[in-house]
Amino acid sequence: MDLKQLGTTGVWNFCDGMSAAECGDFARRVESLGYSALWIPETIGRDPMVSSAMLLNATESLIVATGIANIWMRHPGVMKQAALSLAELSGDRFVLGLGVSHEPMVEGLRGVDYNKPLSAMQKYLAAMEASPWMGPDAEMPPVVVAALGPKMLELSRDASAGAHPYWTTPEHTAMAAEMLGPDALLCVEQKVCLTTDAAVGRAKGAEQLSLYKALPNYRNNWKRLGFTEDQIENDDAAFVDAVMAWGDEDTLRARVQAHYDAGATHVCIQPVAADGGRGAVDWTVLEALAPTG
């Protein structure tokens, strides 16, 4: 893959609430707006590798990336097989984002031992690289690691193509870019809500944060960024405004640009509908921020 393809902004979005046909329509519309990539998560819906194949088949130029595939759920050799197969299927339009997820979702929900996640990721990447492959000659697609703290960022620099931070700020992007260096991918997720009503913007931010504040990986990273337990717990305006962008089109574009100015190589925006439920897709903001716009 020519990594310059990721130089244009992408989209990060849940697709599990859509039918297969709706997923294809969604991906084609994202592609038509000029976005370079569509990032999809792994939760308890579709298998992200199956979803990636579906989305790649529905599009012609769009990169599909996992943000992220959970390392505890698959043997590293199986993950490698899936990644190489998707790269071949799509003509090198697949990016493999890997992550350790979160203890409540791994041990609590799945019953899988969540032990020493940094060491587990280090061993996983090495095992994946060493796993045999007897398919057609193919180049392993880019692998990026969900990294927030310094140690995981260092690992993503040393053992993968780069990092995919989530729920961060341009200040975190600047720190990550300095740590990763100029040759690594830094693919940053940023939530955006098109509203000039501060009460609405912050309420939507609090709604989004409600699912994530109980996850130590995010909470610890926000504290490293200087936010207090009280600010996080009570959805303090300064905290919400820092991690989720709301405002008019110019304000949202400025936040995306702030990540690029801080050293991001790719920003994937997650649309948050100002007047819809959590799963609603806000095409107004996607059209407003489209690279072809």
Q: Structural domain tally of the chain?
A: 1
Q: How far apart are CA 120 and CA 199, in angstroms?
A: 42
Collapsing DSSP to helix, strand or coil, 70 comes out as strand
User: Per-residue pLDDT for 2 more than 90?
Assistant: no
Q: How far apart are CA 135 and CA 142, in angstroms?
A: 18
Q: What is the pLDDT of residue 3?
A: 80
The 3-class SS string of 177-221 reads: HHHHCCCCEEEEEEEEEECCCHHHHHHHHHHHHCCCCCCHHHHHH
Q: How far apart are CA 95 and CA 185, in angstroms?
A: 11
What CATH number is given to the structural domain containing 49? 3.20.20.30
Q: Which is nearest to 186 in space by CA: 156, 155, 164? A: 164
User: Per-residue pLDDT for 280 more than 90?
Assistant: no
Q: Which two tokens stand for residue 101?
A: 């997820």
Q: What is the pLDDT of residue 195?
A: 98
204 within a domain of the structure (yes/no): yes
| Residue 83 CA, distance from chain mean position | 17
Instruction: Provide the greatest CA pair distance for the chain.
Output: 56
**Which sign does the torsion angle of CA 93, 159, 268, 293 carry?**
negative
Q: What is the pLDDT of residue 241?
A: 98
Q: E strands, the chain, where?
A: 10-12, 37-40, 63-66, 69-70, 94-99, 143-145, 162-163, 185-194, 244-247, 266-271
117 within a domain of the structure (yes/no): yes
Q: What is the pLDDT of residues 201-256, one digit of tens each?
A: 999 999 999 999 999 999 999 999 999 999 999 999 999 999 999 999 999 999 99
Q: How far apart are CA 62 and CA 274, in angstroms?
A: 26
Comparing 106 with 54, which gets the higher pLDDT?
A: 54
Q: What is the pLDDT of residues 255-268, one digit of tens each?
A: 999 999 999 999 99
220 within a domain of the structure (yes/no): yes
Q: How far apart are CA 234 and CA 106, in angstroms?
A: 26
User: Per-residue pLDDT for 106 more than 90?
Assistant: no
Let me know how long the chain is. Answer: 293
Q: How far apart are CA 42 and CA 68, in angstroms?
A: 6
293 within a domain of the structure (yes/no): no
Q: Which of 12-26, 125-139, 268-282 has the lowest mean pLDDT?
A: 268-282
55 within a domain of the structure (yes/no): yes
Q: What is the pLDDT of residue 293?
A: 58
Q: What is the pLDDT of residue 169?
A: 98
Q: What is the span of the domain harbouring residue 98?
A: 3-288
Q: Which is nearest to 2 in space by CA: 107, 99, 139? A: 139
User: Per-residue pLDDT for 111 more than 90?
Assistant: no
Q: What is the pLDDT of residue 14?
A: 95
